[in-house]
Structure 1
Amino acid sequence: MASKTIPIVDSHIHLFPADELDNLAWCKPGNPLAKQHSLEEYRAAAHAGAGPDSPPLRGFVFLETDRKNGGDGTDWSGPLMEIDWLRRIAEGRPRPGQGHAAADAALCLGVVPWAPVHLGPARLAEYLAEAERAAGPAAWRLVKGFRYLLQDKPDGSMLRDELIEGLRLLGRKGFVFDLGIDQHRRGRIQLEEAVEMIDRAHEGVLEGEKCVFVLTRPPHTLDHMCKPDVTIINTADPAFIAWRSAVFTLGKCDHVYMKLSGLFCEMSDAMRARPADEIFMAIQPWLAVVLAAFGPHRIMFGSDWPVCTLDMPRGDGDGDGDGAASPWVKWRDVVRRMCDLASLSEEDQAMIWGGTAARAYGLEID
């Protein structure tokens, strides 16, 4: 299989050090992710049980981890603390115990921090200036876009004028906006609002100023591929039809990309425990829609590590020495199965494994 030799760019991961856990809005006692998830652990997960013929990991794109922001997005100390931590990774200045080394800087290809896009262009511009100062030249060069989670916001939030104008500002500055929505739990209204939001953000905008959207998921709830309910067994179900219609509509916009990630946590426990080949067959209808709507040059592989490890069966965790494939490797094998069954060319596979991420985010890859 050609995909075994194509380097992988993981378009969606999260990292956070133990000494900043209290800065994470979702991190409560008992949460299984409430511990350090380091670059060292990520590297181990990406290689656990992978085998000698596995494709090399070229690097990753880091997504913000929902740092505390005052609830209304006006307290920027938490998000700026995250940017300062990423600066240490980018500059190769690790602190003892945080699980990364100076050489790991080469793996960090792109960074997508939080931004208060909902506050409108004036306040957003203030934040961007603060973020650039916090990042310093090395890390700011890696900032390719921003995310403000919308999947948990009230209906109508995506259509507010302030947010639309904030998106236009990002577009003028050449940044990506990572859009996280939740069709599974919020219903078709989130899909409909996303379509209208993108149309309004692009309306009357010059081609070179359009904001690039990457449909993704948040770190604490799961909405990759617009977060469909993959437990549906009948594709005539209204929820599947609504999701399919919205995906094809979104796919008509050249500036919209889709991440193949995050579906483990949308599966039943029984499905999640199956081998990669069986998981692929179960979710093949959703993967087929995304491939048809976007094509291989606008979809990208993403692991959503460490969220992909949640509720995984025993022995299929982080690949911590038991020889079992990690969820990272298992999801990679699902995507590889899709590429094989679709008989994708080596060029098309290269786009899914890294080329699309490089194009969407403007990554500097050798």
Structure 2
Amino acid sequence: MADQPAYPIIDSHIHLFPSSELDTLAWNKPEGPLYKQHSLAEYASATGGPKNLEGFIFLETDRKHDLETGLKDGSGWEMPLMEVEWLKRIALGTPKEGEGHSEDDKKLCLAIVPWAPLPSGAEGMQRYVKEAAKHAGEAFKKVKGFRYLVQDKPKGVMLQDGFIEGLKWMGQKGFVFDLGIDQHNGGKWQLEEAYEMIEKAHEGVSEDNKVTVVINHLCKPDLSVYNQNDPAFVAWRTAMFKLSKCSKTFMKLSGCFSEMPASLKQAPVLEIFAALQPYLVVILATFGSFRIMFGSDWPVCTIGVDDAWKKWRQVVEKFCYLASLSEEDQIMIWSGTAIKAYGIKELM
């Protein structure tokens, strides 16, 4: 493969957390591989500090929360709001000692996507976002959207009246919704429900006020499936065509290592690309380069993978090269789509 031009890169999906707040993460256990600080010092080491890395978009890390007490007295929002304050210190360049970032790192923080209580409806969202703005201070201008992770929730959550109402409120206020679903572990119903959710959220809403939806990680298909006639692949492909027909909907080229068998994670880049090719072809055919964005899912991507960030970058480079994408198409995938979807005005 010929050397690829060094286009500007925006990593559209990373997670950060200091060692002092590990126990606020709902999923991170002391015996787990990520139970240690993952801040910008560690991120810089993982990426190798490429000169063309313009910055990143932070995604909430599923901190412990309680919807009911959050609405009642705000105590159920304590840990997600603690995360907002953590990102404030990064975005404004005011670190506490030992948190692994410096004042200079603030320029890398291009957008913040915190947690939000979407099932609480418009009223709950309004109250929470008001609190988040207080905790973020000047950094709130970098809050471009919110995520309420639905991949581990039961059927029907995405279709509840409050959830749809919350999405419509976000659209009116210009906030993006990051959608995290999981076909591999959750089942194909999540794909079907996600499409219905977007349809309901956009129903009766003007184009300008429709919520923008950024779909995470290709919806997490089972990447041990290589047979394109397999029912799981057919269901995923069908869903990609349906989801791509929804307006103001984007896809992150991210999170794939987590859905690969262990042997593929350790394989050479070309072998990984070959295994992913059927999936990448579908994503390009459905969403097109102007609605696809590069993301690493760091540090989750590092579990069982050596040099994961660099390896994923090489996979995406091979994808761009072997698909014979134009310079304009490649610029969109590496950074342009993220700028467009999240409205990052500083780089427009």
| TM-score range normalised by the length of the shorter chain | over 0.9
CA contact (8 A) 2:176 2:211 kept: yes
| TM superposition shift of 1:98 | 0.5
SS of 1:58's equivalent in the other structure is: strand
CA contact (8 A) 1:227 1:266 kept: yes
CA contact (8 A) 1:60 1:109 kept: yes
| TM superposition shift of 1:56 | 1.3
Aligned to 2:280: 287
What is the CA–CA distance in structure 1 between the aligned matches of 2:110 and 2:301, rounded to whole Å? 21
Runs of at least 5 residues in structure 2 that lack an aligned partner in the other structure: 71-75
SS of 1:94's equivalent in the other structure is: coil
| TM superposition shift of 1:252 | 1.0
Aligned to 1:358: 339
Aligned to 1:111: 112
Deviation sequence 1:139-169 (CA, Å, 0-9, x none): 1010000000111111111111110000000
| TM superposition shift of 1:72 | 5.5
SS of 1:340's equivalent in the other structure is: helix
SS of 2:166's equivalent in the other structure is: helix
SS of 2:11's equivalent in the other structure is: strand
Aligned to 2:128: 127
SS of 2:190's equivalent in the other structure is: helix
What is the CA–CA distance in structure 2 between the aligned matches of 1:278 and 1:180, rounded to whole Å? 27
Aligned to 1:204: 204
Length-normalised TM-score, structure 2: 0.96
Deviation sequence 1:221-240 (CA, Å, 0-9, x none): xxx10000110121100110
Aligned to 1:61: 57
Alignment of 1:292-303 (within 5 A): 292-303=285-296
What is the CA–CA distance in structure 1 between the aligned matches of 2:238 and 2:175, rounded to whole Å? 27
Q: Which of 231, 236, 246 pairs up with 1:238?
A: 231
User: Superposition RMSD on alpha carbons, in Å?
Assistant: 1.3
1:252 matches 2:248: no
| TM superposition shift of 1:70 | 2.5
SS of 1:5's equivalent in the other structure is: coil
Aligned to 1:21: 22
SS of 2:46's equivalent in the other structure is: helix
Deviation sequence 1:64-110 (CA, Å, 0-9, x none): 01111126572000011000111111111111111000000000000
CA contact (8 A) 2:296 2:312 kept: yes
In percent, how many aligned pairs have the same letter? 57
Aligned to 1:273: 266
Aligned to 2:147: 147
Deviation sequence 1:21-75 (CA, Å, 0-9, x none): 1111112120110110010110111117xxxxx6611100000011111265720
Aligned to 2:166: 166
Aligned to 2:315: 334
SS of 2:5's equivalent in the other structure is: helix
Aligned to 1:82: 83
Aligned to 1:102: 103
Aligned residues: 341
Distance change (3 Å), C-alpha of 1:334 and 1:232: same
| Residue type of the alignment partner of 1:181 | I
| Residue type of the alignment partner of 1:165 | E
Runs of at least 5 residues in structure 1 that lack an aligned partner in the other structure: 49-53, 217-223, 317-325
SS of 1:11's equivalent in the other structure is: strand
Q: Which moved more, 1:342-351 or 1:26-35?
A: 26-35
Aligned to 1:41: 42
SS of 2:142's equivalent in the other structure is: coil
Runs of 4 or more consecutive aligned structure 1 residues displaced over 4 Å after TM superposition: none
| Residue type of the alignment partner of 2:341 | A
Q: Which of 326, 333, 338 pairs up with 1:345?
A: 326
SS of 1:279's equivalent in the other structure is: helix
Aligned to 1:180: 180
What is the CA–CA distance in structure 1 between the aligned matches of 2:20 and 2:202, rounded to whole Å? 41
What is the CA–CA distance in structure 2 between the aligned matches of 1:15 and 1:3, rounded to whole Å? 29
| Residue type of the alignment partner of 1:305 | W
CA contact (8 A) 1:4 1:55 kept: no
Length-normalised TM-score, structure 1: 0.91
CA contact (8 A) 1:213 1:256 kept: yes
SS of 2:87's equivalent in the other structure is: helix
| TM superposition shift of 1:127 | 0.3
CA contact (8 A) 1:13 1:60 kept: yes
SS of 1:4's equivalent in the other structure is: coil
What is the CA–CA distance in structure 2 between the aligned matches of 1:230 and 1:248, rounded to whole Å? 18
Distance change (3 Å), C-alpha of 1:9 and 1:73: farther
| TM superposition shift of 1:123 | 1.1
SS of 2:347's equivalent in the other structure is: coil
What is the CA–CA distance in structure 1 between the aligned matches of 2:226 and 2:95, rounded to whole Å? 47
| Residue type of the alignment partner of 2:9 | I
SS of 2:189's equivalent in the other structure is: helix
